[in-house]
Amino acid sequence: MSADTVNATRPLAALTSGPLQGRVRVPGDKSISHRALMFGALSTGTTRLKGLLEAEDVINTAKALTALGAPIEKIGSEWHVKGRGVGGLRQPDGPLDFGNSGTGTRLMLGIIAGHDMTVELTGDASLSRRPMGRVLTPLQKMGLEIEGARDRLPLVARGSASLVPIVYELPVPSAQVKSAVLLAGLHAAGETSVIESEATRDHTERMLRHFGAEVRVAAEGGKTRITVVGDAELTGCDVVVPADPSSAAFIAAAAALVPGSDVTVEGVLINPTRIGFYEVLREMGCEVDFLDARDEGGEPVADIRVRHAPLKGVHVAAHRAPSMIDEYPILAVVSAFAAGETRMDGLAELKVKESDRLAATVAGLHANGVDAKADGDTLFVNGGRQVRGGGTVATHLDHRIAMSFLTMGLASQEPVTVDDTSMVATSFPEFLSLMQSLGARFGTSAGQA
Ligand code: S3P
């Protein structure tokens, strides 16, 4: 590790806190923010975005699109994207750096595939370890070429203005792979279909329609076929980005764990493909209410109120994993405070996120005195109402590992320290200040209680 990297890390301890109380709004949904910028760039005319997530992952997507010839600027509180139309982007002058973002990289590969250009894609140490083969395999069938036999960043990708449409059955439940293929399909002549056997987040399908693309979704023998009509024309439009349920999950968990807490998070996306965590929280005995449910810009949103209650362990079946895939680290932390065993099945995808989240979560739980084990793709946590804490957690450049264990420290007997908080800025820069505004306490070292 270089001296710069060492200096850039920011350790922090979360300290036992009193009841968390109040109303907050968390930043815009990360998945929708990436897509709104990308679809705007592929449209004719200007797209105006309200509530865009201003975090490093999304800013890197905006910079990449600007380098590809679609200028993006902030005007007042709105972001404006000057679209170039489907197939209208141009070769960038240098490499595109996606930082920590798998979503940015994989979706953009689908877009690059449809353009006659050669682009180098780079990322940080975490992103450079993540598998890209899952998007390259279908995109290469459509006409994308990759220099060398690589499936990790850095990659040099050569797109084509004459992509071939395909029918692709997802081998892993991944909205990123589905979206990359559909985005490439916009540029192909004819219809491109993706078949999924487990429902993954459907923001691409919903939002492409909003921009004027023809997208069909049909049930097919227990699976779902999603078809996009190619040579598409997208038209710039207005998008309101709802608050991110994956960010709100940390606040909801803190309220669930700290006795006496009563917290409301406003305007949160409650798309059924994203709310598995909240459903499990309810099953554990927590009071979770979706208030004033409404529609905003084609997505359902609600104010989510969470009140502390004693929790009990539950079994979370494998088929539910895609609806809460990013929430397992925080769910594991919640499980540590729930009486009895919580069993979470079907976690293979957790191993290829910003870190191996299954291993990082188990290690973090052990460091804080929690009885937990991973067995294949299953995670077992044996919880109790008291958690010792007192440990230091290795975050492995993973924002959600950092936020999960900081949340643990608010309710454990001794402070919980994470070795680095710098990556929190990739998805939720306001995490610490929002938590503090509700009553959470943080310090610079485990000794400072
Ligand atoms: C995302 C899909 C999920 C999720 C990621 C965002 C998206 O990844 O973990 O944070 O925006 O499509 P996978 O597609 O790899 O499951």
242/53 Cα distance (integer angstroms): 9
Helix (H, G, I), strand (E, B) or coil at 428: coil
**Residues 219-249 pLDDT 10s:** 999 999 999 999 999 999 999 999 999 999 9
**Residues 28-38 pLDDT 10s:** 999 999 999 99
Helix (H, G, I), strand (E, B) or coil at 72: strand
| Contact yes or no for 35/205 (Cβ under 8 A) | no
Distance, CA 176 to ligand 1 centroid (Å)?
Answer: 5
201 CB under 6 A from ligand 1? yes
Distance, CA 446 to ligand 1 centroid (Å)?
Answer: 33
Q: Please name the residue ranges forming H helices in 287-350.
A: 328-336
Report the sign of the C-alpha dihedral through residues 332, 173, 126, 182, in that order: negative
The two structure tokens encoding residue 178: 């589905």
- DSSP annotation of 388: -
Which residue's alpha carbon is at the smallest distance from atom 5 of ligand 1?
Answer: 103
427 CB under 6 A from ligand 1? no
- DSSP annotation of 311: -
Which residue's alpha carbon is at the smallest distance from atom 10 of ligand 1?
Answer: 326
Nearest to 349 by CA among 320, 329, 377: 377
198 CB under 6 A from ligand 1? no
pLDDT of residue 54 exceeding 50, the answer is yes
3-state helix, strand, coil in the chain (%, to 5): 35, 25, 40
> What integer pLDDT is reported at residue 297 of this predicted model?
78
In the beta sheet, which residues pair with residue 268?
Answer: 243, 302
Ligand 1, atom nearest to 31 Cα: 11
In the beta sheet, which residues pair with residue 307?
Answer: 262, 287
| Contact yes or no for 56/426 (Cβ under 8 A) | yes
112/66 Cα distance (integer angstroms): 14
Ligand 1, atom nearest to 173 Cα: 16
Percent of the chain with pLDDT over 90: 96
CB atoms within 10 A of CB 7: 8
**Residues 89-132 pLDDT 10s:** 999 999 999 999 999 999 999 999 999 999 999 999 999 999 99
Q: Which residue out of 241, 325, 350, 401 has the highest number of ligand 1 atoms within 8 Å of its CB and is therefore the one to mutate?
A: 325
Tell me the one-letter amino acid at 275.
Answer: I
User: In sequence order, what are the residues at sequence separation of 6 or more whose Cβ sits closer than 8 angstroms to the Cβ of residue 278?
Assistant: 245, 249, 252, 270, 288, 290, 304
Q: Please, what is the end-to-end C-alpha distance for the chain in angstroms?
A: 31
196/223 Cα distance (integer angstroms): 6
Burial 350-386 (b: 16+ CB within 10 A, else e): bebbbbbbbebbbbbbebbbbebebeebbbbbbbeee
Please report, to the nearest 10 degrees, the dihedral formed by the alpha carbons of residues 67, 232, 222, 331 taken in order: 30
In the beta sheet, which residues pair with residue 121?
Answer: 96, 155
Structural domains of the chain, with CATH? 3-28+243-443 (3.65.10.10), 31-239 (3.65.10.10)
> What integer pLDDT is reported at residue 136 of this predicted model?
98
The two structure tokens encoding residue 38: 């990308």
| Contact yes or no for 292/320 (Cβ under 8 A) | no
Q: Which residue out of 170, 174, 277, 423 has the highest number of ligand 1 atoms within 8 Å of its CB and is therefore the one to mutate?
A: 174
176 CB under 6 A from ligand 1? yes
Tell me the one-letter amino acid at 77.
Answer: S
Q: How, if at all, do strands 191-196 and 223-229 pair? A: antiparallel
pLDDT of residue 423 exceeding 80, the answer is yes
348/222 Cα distance (integer angstroms): 22
**Residues 131-168 pLDDT 10s:** 999 999 999 999 999 999 899 999 999 999 999 999 99
> What integer pLDDT is reported at residue 385 of this predicted model?
81
31 CB under 6 A from ligand 1? yes
What is the pLDDT of the chain when averaged over all its residues? 96
Within a 13 Å sphere around the CA of 9, how many CA atoms are in the beta-carbon half?
17
355 CB under 6 A from ligand 1? no
179 CB under 6 A from ligand 1? yes
The two structure tokens encoding residue 166: 């395909």
- Note if 93 is an active site residue: no
Distance, CA 177 to ligand 1 centroid (Å)?
Answer: 9
Q: How confident is the model at residue 444 (pLDDT cuts 50, 70, 90)?
A: confident
Q: How confident is the model at residue 391 (pLDDT cuts 50, 70, 90)?
A: very high
Mean pLDDT over residues 439-443, rounded?
97
Percent of the chain with pLDDT over 70: 97
**Residues 319-366 pLDDT 10s:** 999 999 999 999 999 999 999 999 999 999 999 999 999 999 999 999
Q: How, if at all, do strands 72-75 and 371-375 pair? A: unpaired
Place of tokens 């990790």: 152
> What integer pLDDT is reported at residue 374 of this predicted model?
98
271 CB-contact burial (10 Å; exposed 0-12 / middle 13-18 / buried 19+):
buried
User: In sequence order, what are the residues at sequence separation of 6 or more whose Cβ sits closer than 8 angstroms to the Cβ of residue 119?
Assistant: 91, 92, 95, 96, 112, 156, 157, 158, 159
191 CB-contact burial (10 Å; exposed 0-12 / middle 13-18 / buried 19+):
middle
323 CB under 6 A from ligand 1? no
Residue in 326, 356, 398, 420 annotated catalytic: 326
Distance, CA 282 to ligand 1 centroid (Å)?
Answer: 24
Q: Which residue out of 37, 176, 181, 273 has the highest number of ligand 1 atoms within 8 Å of its CB and is therefore the one to mutate?
A: 176
130 CB under 6 A from ligand 1? no
